[in-house]
């Protein structure tokens, strides 16, 4: 059984948390502001520098929502105080990435260049070192949005299992298959 929902969230200095209308939590910090709607059956309490989510009963639905909203609020607090970063690596001959504002320009071995519009809440940059694969860096305060954009960018060229070419997270381990030459 998960006990995530019972853990109180410590609010760091410089972060301000307000609960309005009983179920809307707004979080402001040095990196920005986020708001999260919480299910009306749960109550959110702020006291002595800690944020806690309280469920009314021990029903299965309430337990699931309890852990979910506690995690979402914790992600918001970490996001506005520290921020989140995801790095994607382009592995393949001739694969390139460059940015112009919030537009990501990708050459991924197709006959055309792909232009990917990144939302304004996320800062995108690219890094290309000689002899290394190009890296796309996504930074922002919303963990879910960064993960969603990273997944969309990854889906433009999925990693193939034989040579390992494609877009992957930095440090991601790809399970490789043996080619047909090994069958002999």
Distance, in Å, from the CA atom of 112 to the CA atom of 106, rounded to the nearest integer, reads 9
pLDDT band for position 183 (cuts 50, 70, 90):
low
Phi, psi angles (nearest 5°) of residue 69: -70, -30
pLDDT at 5 > cutoff 90: no
Distance, in Å, from the CA atom of 184 to the CA atom of 174, rounded to the nearest integer, reads 24
Q: Is there a single domain that holds both residue 90 and residue 71?
A: no
Q: Is there a single domain that holds both residue 33 and residue 110?
A: no
Residues 20-34 have pLDDT tens digits of: 887 899 999 999 999
End position of a domain, from candidates 81, 98, 119: 81
Q: Determine, yes or no, domain membership for 121.
A: yes
Distance, in Å, from the CA atom of 143 to the CA atom of 77, rounded to the nearest integer, reads 11
Q: What is the pTM of this model?
A: 0.87
Range of the domain at 130: 84-169
pLDDT at 2 > cutoff 70: no
Record the tokens describing residue 70, joined without a space: 């506690």
Record the tokens describing residue 60, joined without a space: 């299965």
Q: Is there a single domain that holds both residue 124 and residue 158?
A: yes
**The pLDDT of residue 21:** 85
**The pLDDT of residue 25:** 93
How many residues would you count in the chain? 184
Record the tokens describing residue 55, joined without a space: 């469920």
Phi, psi angles (nearest 5°) of residue 32: 155, -165
End position of a domain, from candidates 19, 52, 81: 81
Helices vs strands, H then E, count in the chain: 2, 13
Q: Is there a single domain that holds both residue 62 and residue 104?
A: no
pLDDT at 180 > cutoff 90: no
Record the tokens describing residue 27, joined without a space: 């979080």
Q: Is there a single domain that holds both residue 91 and residue 55?
A: no
Q: Work out the average pLDDT over 67-96.
A: 94
Domain count, the chain: 2
Distance, in Å, from the CA atom of 134 to the CA atom of 102, rounded to the nearest integer, reads 17
Residue 34 CB coordination number (10 Å): 21
Q: Is there a single domain that holds both residue 89 and residue 144?
A: yes
pLDDT at 120 > cutoff 90: yes
Q: Determine, yes or no, domain membership for 180.
A: no
Q: Is there a single domain that holds both residue 41 and residue 92?
A: no
**The pLDDT of residue 1:** 46
pLDDT at 84 > cutoff 90: yes
Q: Determine, yes or no, domain membership for 23.
A: yes
């Amino acid at each position: 059984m998960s006990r995530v929902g019972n853990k109180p969230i410590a609010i760091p200095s410089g972060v301000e948390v307000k609960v309005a209308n009983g179920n809307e939590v707004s979080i402001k910090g040095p990196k920005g502001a986020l708001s999260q709607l919480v299910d009306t059956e749960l109550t959110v309490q702020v006291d002595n520098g800690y944020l806690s989510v309280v469920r009314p009963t021990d029903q299965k639905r309430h337990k699931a929502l309890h852990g979910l909203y506690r995690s979402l609020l914790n992600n918001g607090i970490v996001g506005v105080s520290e921020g989140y970063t995801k790095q994607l690596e382009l592995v393949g001959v001739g694969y390139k990435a460059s940015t112009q504002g919030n537009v990501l320009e990708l050459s991924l071995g197709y006959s055309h260049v792909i232009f990917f519009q990144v939302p304004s809440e996320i800062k995108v940059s690219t890094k290309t070192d000689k002899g290394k694969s190009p890296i796309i860096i996504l930074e922002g305060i919303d963990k879910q949005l960064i993960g969603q954009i990273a997944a969309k960018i990854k889906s433009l060229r999925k990693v193939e299992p034989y040579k390992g070419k494609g877009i992957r997270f930095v440090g991601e381990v790809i399970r490789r298959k043996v080619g047909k030459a090994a069958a002999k």
